[in-house]
Amino acid sequence: MDAKARNCLLQHREALEKDIKTSYIMDRMINDGVLTVSEEEKVKNEPTQQQRAALLIKMILKKDNYSYISFYNALIHEGYKDLAALLQSGIPVISSSSGGKDSVGGITSYVKTVLCEGGVPQRPVVFVTRKKLVNAIQQNLLKLNGEPGWVVIYGMAGCGKSVLAAESVRDHFFLDGCFPGGVHWVSVGKQDKSGLLMKLQNLCTRLDQDESFSQRLPLNIEEAKDRLRILMLRKHPRSLLILDDIWDPWVLKAFDNQCQILLTTRDKSVTDSVMGPKYVVSVESGLGKEKGLEILSLFVNMKKADLPEQAHSIIKECKGSPLVVSLIGALLRDFPNRWDYYLRQLQNKQFKRIRKSSSYDYEALDEAMSISVEMLREDIKDYYTDLSILQKDVKVPTKVLCILWDMETEEVEDILQEFVNKSLLFCDRNGKSFCYYLHDLQVDFLIEKNRNQLQNLHRKIITQFQKHYQPHTLSPDQEDCMYWYNFLAYHMGSANMHKELCALMFSLDWIKAKTELVGPAHLIHEFVEYRHILDEKDCAVCE
C-alpha cells in the first residue's frame, strides 16, 4: 500500500473503528477479491463491533492499494459518506507496482461504455473468474508502460484465451489508469488478403468516425496500415488494440503500427515477424476441478454440492477443458437428465455428438482440434499423425522420436517445436533434455481421427526400434531407456505383432533387466494384459 494511503488510514483509524459495522463492508470487499472468507470469519469472531472494525482495518493496512480502494468504495455504498470523505485524499493512483485485480472498482458505466465502443465482447452467459491469469495479463500490459509492444495470450483451442483478454480490461481503475484512450477489439481469425483488407478498413472507419482524416477507405493493405498508424498516434494515443485469434505472422505485420497490442493465438511464434518488446502469458489447457464444477452448476442451475457424480467424471475426463465443459453444460441445460449420456460420449470419444452453439467460435470439439492440425505445413502433418500412438500422461524423450523418424535430434526438435508453438503438443524441459506430451483430449482426437492407421503406426515404431536396438542391449544411462522398458510391449501388442511380443515377454534377459530397473509390478501387469496372446505360445510358462 502507498505510504500516503497508509498514513491516511492510520490518521483516521480511531473514527473508523468507532463508527463502522463490518458485515456489509466485508461482503463488498470479498466480492472485489481483496478479502478472503477466512479473514471475514476471523473478524466476525471478535466479541464487539469496535473490535471487529479494528481487526478489519489492521488487515487492510497489511494489504495493497486495491484493498484501500475497495474499502473506500464499500464505505460509500454502505452509507458512510462522511468517513469515506476522510479517506478520499489518500486514494492511491494505479501504478505498475500495484498489480491489477479484475473486479475491484466494479464494471462501472464508464467501463461498459469504453468496452462497448471498442467492440469488446461481453462476458459469456456462464462465467467464472480466473483471477491469477487476468492479473498476469494486466501485469504484462503494465510492463509496456505506455510504449509500443506486444502481450501475447497463448494456448490450445478452447482454453478461454478470448474471455481472458476481454476480462483483463473489464476494470475501471486499470482501464482509466493505463488506457485512457480506450480499447479497440478486432476479431481476426484466418484471413486471406481481401479478408484482411476488410478488417483493416473496418477498424480505420471505427477509429475515424468523424472522417477527419479521409473520406474514402484505404484501397490496399499498405495504405490501410499507414492510415491505422496515423489514427492510433494522433486520434487514439494511449489506447490498447486487442487482436483476437491470430493465425499468421503476415497478418500480424499489417497491425504492426507502433502501438500497444494485446493478442490471442494458438501459435506463439506469430510474433517472430514483428519488432518491439513481447511478453507471453501461457494459458493452461484446463480449469481446476472446482472451477469446472462451478461452470456446470451455473449451466444447470444447481449448487455445486448437489451435482451428480457424473459431473466430477466429466471434469476429470476432459481435464477441465473450458470448451468441453461449456459445450456439455449448454447441452445439459436443455436436457438435464442426460448426464450419463454425455459422459459416455466423452469416454467413447464421440466428439461429433457433443455439439452445441456456445460463446466459443466452434460448435464441437473435433472442429476446434482439426482446424489447428489443418493449419500445419503439409510436410509435417504426417509426423503429427505419428503421435497417435502416444499414451495419456506419458512424457516422451526426444530420442524416442529420433528413432521413430530416423532423424538427428536437432531436426526432430525443430519439428516438435512447430507443434508446441501451435499448442498441439506440450514440452517439458529437464536440464538439457526435452520430453514431449499431448493433452488427453488431443490423444483422444488423434486416436479417433486415425483409428484405421493405428496398427500400422505402432508397427512402424517397432520396426524402427528393431533397426537401432536389441531389447537386451538397452542401457539405463540412455535417455530413452525407460520409455522402451515401459512401452515396448504395449506397441507390439497394439501392432498385433504376436510373435515379437511372445519373444520379448519370454526372454529371461528382458525379464531380468526390466525387473531390476522398474520392479516386478509392471511386468506382472503386462503378463496379465497380454496373457490371451502369450497363452497361445505357452500357457504353462506364462502362468
CA distance 381 to 68: 54
* DSSP-H helix ranges across 249-376: 249-253, 289-300, 309-318, 322-334, 339-347, 365-374
pTM: 0.57
Task: Report the pLDDT value the prediction gives residue 240, as an integer from 0 to 100.
Answer: 94
Please name each of the domains of the chain with its CATH number: 3-93 (1.10.533.10), 110-282 (3.40.50.300), 289-375 (1.10.8.430), 452-542 (1.25.40.370)
Task: Report the pLDDT value the prediction gives residue 149, as an integer from 0 to 100.
Answer: 92
Task: Report the pLDDT value the prediction gives residue 195, as an integer from 0 to 100.
Answer: 87
- Sign (positive or negative) of CA dihedral 370, 376, 382, 388: negative
CA distance 187 to 210: 23
Task: Report the pLDDT value the prediction gives residue 349, as an integer from 0 to 100.
Answer: 67
Task: Report the pLDDT value the prediction gives residue 152, as an integer from 0 to 100.
Answer: 94
Query: Block means of pLDDT (10 residues each) for the chain, length 543 residues?
Result: 85 90 86 84 91 92 85 85 86 51 56 85 78 90 88 84 91 85 90 89 85 77 90 88 91 90 90 89 81 85 88 85 79 83 78 52 57 82 93 89 92 90 79 79 84 94 91 81 91 92 89 86 87 77 71
Regarding beta strands 426-430 and 433-437, do their DSSP bridges make them parallel or antiparallel, or are they unpaired?
Answer: antiparallel
CA distance 286 to 393: 14
